[in-house]
Amino acid sequence: MCGMPEQSPTRSSAAGRPRPDASMSLLTNVMDHALDDGYAEASARRTSGAGGLPRGVRGRLWLGAGLVLAALVVTLGAAQAHHAAPVVAKERQELIDRVGSETAHADDLEHDVDGLRRDVAQRQQAALRQHGGGRAPLLSVLAGATDVHGPGVKLVVDDAKDTESGGGANPRENAGFSDTGRVRDRDMQRVVNGLWAAGAEAVSVNGQRLTSLSAIRAAGDAILVDNRPLAPPYTVLAVGDGGKLAARFKGSADGTYLDTLASDFGIRVSLSAQDDVRVPAAPSLVLRAARPLKSATGKTEEGTS
């Protein structure tokens, strides 16, 4: 148009057109300065670590310090153990020596007790020979104070192979046994009493000598002889006239009772005459009392119980 000064297009556009982000100066400042100086400094310290060390270097330093501390603890423990080892070894040896000394002392006492028992037995035998009218050997045998050997019988009684088997009439009347194939205490009582009645002079069960004070009892399934548990098979040894003793026992009511247990319930029985049977002495026989007695001839004799 006329009358208006003509402006340069380039300059006009450069001078008159504002910046596209002129109205977003605040956002531009935030983007250019995301952290203030304080936050930037703290971030730099965390990145570099104390004293300016990188984080990896600081971790290795802590690991090395921990290993040194662990090695120090182990070394101190080993040193203390090495220092205490002689003391422990000494105490252990003292304990071993004490046990050995006490064991030797107990053995000496046991040896003394055995000697005193032999001395008492010899004195008893001497007194019986002096005042017993020649009956000392017989009294010792009857009382079970001495071992006996001679002809006799060997009777072995054992449980049935199948302890639940059995049939027929039960000779254990009113016993209430559910396991009829097992040997019971009353069975052994009848066996022993039958041997005594048949003429046995001495009887033992599994090496346990029976005397007038002996008892055969039960504790559960175990059979006790003088409170000593026995396990099957039960071997009964009886000293006497072997052939006659075996025949008399078989013909007695107790022998028939045992045969019934064998035939009806499978209890295993073996009876044989022996040329030489050895029955030990009773281990717990104690002389309880002794007093002078007068015989039919008026002579004073020693009586024992």
| Residue-level pLDDT, tens digit, the chain, 305 residues | 444 444 444 444 445 566 665 566 666 666 666 556 666 666 666 665 545 566 667 777 888 888 888 888 888 888 777 777 777 788 888 899 899 899 999 999 989 988 887 888 778 767 766 665 556 666 667 777 778 889 999 999 999 887 654 445 555 554 555 557 889 999 999 999 999 999 998 999 998 898 888 889 988 878 999 888 998 999 999 999 888 999 999 999 999 999 999 988 889 999 999 999 998 888 766 666 666 655 545 554 444 44
Predicted confidence at residue 36, as pLDDT, reads 62
Closest by CA position to 301, among listed 150, 183, 95, 127? 127
Q: Give the single-character DSSP code of 206.
A: T
The angle formed by the CA atoms of residues 181, 183 and 184, to the nearest 5 degrees, is: 120
Encoded amino acid at 247, one letter: A
What is the token pair recorded at 148? 């006996």
Position 9 scores a pLDDT of 47
- Please classify residue 14 by burial: count the beta carbons closer than 10 Å to its beta carbon, then call 0-12 exposed, 13-18 middle and 19+ buried: exposed
Nearest-angstrom CA–CA distance, 116 and 110: 10
Closest CA to 232 of 161, 176, 174, 147: 161
Helix (H, G, I), strand (E, B) or coil at 203: strand
Six-digit token string for 37: 């100086």
Supply the pLDDT for residue 165: 44
Enter the CATH code of domain 148-279: 3.30.70.1880
Q: For residues 144 and 234, what is the distance between their CA atoms, to the nearest angstrom?
A: 20
Asked if 194 and 255 count as a contact pair (C-beta separation under 8 A), the reply is: yes
Domain layout of the chain by residue ranges: 148-279
- pLDDT at residue 297, as a whole number: 52
Q: What is the pLDDT of residue 27?
A: 63
* CB-CB contact of 233 with 269 (8 Å): no
3-state secondary structure of 272: strand
- DSSP string across 118-187: HHHHHHHHHHHHHHSTT-HHHHHHHHT-S-EEEEEEEEEEE--SSTT---S--SSTT---S-TTS--HHH
Residues 125 and 131: their CA atoms lie apart, in Å, by: 10
